[in-house]
């Protein structure tokens, strides 16, 4: 299934895209797409519904983050061998873990806002992993059974905050709008091999990133198992699993986002995002 939440920010309703690519309303069946809906049992029950009986949604409403109430937004750094090579970094011996503030979450096509003082805002297309079952000390062999599904994430990063203002990456990762997620949550059963998914990102129509999850240093199963040793993973937690080569920081000359830029990014089978880059505006 391709589960979505659609509507104005803070007023999203649950839905799904059917086999013909049409948006259907799920609000008569479930209250929302949240932690209570992400277990294997709940998803199997939902999958038995005849989608043709669900109301069609007219027009093209805004899509929000496909999961309500995300508890943790976890990032994994330097997790593609070819990305590590382009940055000149030594491939890590263990996953590099950082946190993205949940306040940075935004819909897949919402604007990316440059924060105050931004100098080096960068793009990073990533595979997002959504936890479906509480995970503590799980083995690599069982790890994928704790996953509800997958999604596209843009791990937007302000490199000057991340790398030039102390050793902690979090400051450059959690600015408002720095976590577009979606368009869909694609349930685990629809992804045949999560380690063979193609990723791409375009800036103003020019291809910047091309990659495949097969070049991950640590697989999805390894990441879920590893994280579960250090923190309890709860249903609805999102893990951004690293980015392939082509980020602005590693280009020569370097290229960072500026007002008026447009990003287009996606992952095979998981949908596509598009964001306009805007300047910071106080609320």
Say yes or no to pLDDT of 252 above 80.
Answer: yes
**CB of 161 closer than 8 Å to CB of 248:** no
Can you give the chain as a three-state secondary structure string?
CEEEEECCCCCCEEEEECCCCCEEECCCCCCCCCHHHCCHHHHHHHHCCCHHHCCECCCCCCECCCCCCCCCEEEEECCEHHHHHHHCCCCCCCCEEEECCHHHEECCCCCEECCCCCCCEECCEEEEEEECCCECCCCCCCHHHHEEEEEEEECCEEHHHHHCCCCCHHHHCCCCCCEEECCCEEEHHHCCCCCCCEEEEEECCEEEEEEEHHHECCCHHHHHHHHCCCCCECCCCEEECCCCCCCHHHCCCCCCCCCCCEEEEEECCCEEEEEEEECCCCC
Domain ranges in the chain are 2-53, 73-278
Say yes or no to pLDDT of 283 above 70.
Answer: no
What is the pLDDT confidence band of residue 275, given thresholds at 50, 70 and 90? Answer: very high
73-278 architecture in CATH?
Alpha-Beta Complex (3.90)
Say yes or no to pLDDT of 68 above 70.
Answer: yes
Say yes or no to pLDDT of 88 above 90.
Answer: no
Interval 87-99 mean pLDDT: 91
- pLDDT tens digits, one per residue of 148-166: 999 999 999 999 999 888 7
- Per the model's pLDDT, the better-predicted residue between 83 and 23 turns out to be 23
Interval 1-20 mean pLDDT: 97
* Percentage of the residues of the chain whose pLDDT score is greater than 90: 92
The whole-chain average pLDDT of the chain stands at 96
* Percentage of the residues of the chain whose pLDDT score is greater than 70: 99
- pLDDT tens digits, one per residue of 196-214: 999 999 999 999 999 999 9
Interval 24-29 mean pLDDT: 97
Radius of gyration of the chain (CA): 18
């Amino acid at each position: 299934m391709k589960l979505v939440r659609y509507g104005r920010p803070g007023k999203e309703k649950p839905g799904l895209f059917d086999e013909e690519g049409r948006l259907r309303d799920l609000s008569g069946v479930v209250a929302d797409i949240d932690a209570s809906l992400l277990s294997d049992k709940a998803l199997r029950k939902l999958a038995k519904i005849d989608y043709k009986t669900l109301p069609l949604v007219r027009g093209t409403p805004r899509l929000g983050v496909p999961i309500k109430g995300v508890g943790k937004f976890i990032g994994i750094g330097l997790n593609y061998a070819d990305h590590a090579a382009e940055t000149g970094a030594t491939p890590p011996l263990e996953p590099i873990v950082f946190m993205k503030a949940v306040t940075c979450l935004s819909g897949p096509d919402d604007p990316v806002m440059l924060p105050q003082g931004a100098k080096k805002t960068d793009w990073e297309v990533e595979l997002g992993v959504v936890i479906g079952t509480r995970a503590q000390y799980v083995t690599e062999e069982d790890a994928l059974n704790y996953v509800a599904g997958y999604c596209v994430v843009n791990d937007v990063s302000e490199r000057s905050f991340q790398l030039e203002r102390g050793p902690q990456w979090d400051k450059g990762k959690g600015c408002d709008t720095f976590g577009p997620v979606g368009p869909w949550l694609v349930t685990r059963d629809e992804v045949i091999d999560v380690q063979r998914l193609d990723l791409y990102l375009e800036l103003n129509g020019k291809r910047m990133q091309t990659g495949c999850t097969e070049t991950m240093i640590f697989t999805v199963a390894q990441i879920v198992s590893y994280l579960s040793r250090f923190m309890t993973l709860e249903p609805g937690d999102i893990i951004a699993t690293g980015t392939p080569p082509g980020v602005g920081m590693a280009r020569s000359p370097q290229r960072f986002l500026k007002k008026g830029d447009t990003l287009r990014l996606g992952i095979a089978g998981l949908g596509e995002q598009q964001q306009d880059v805007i300047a910071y505006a106080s609320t």
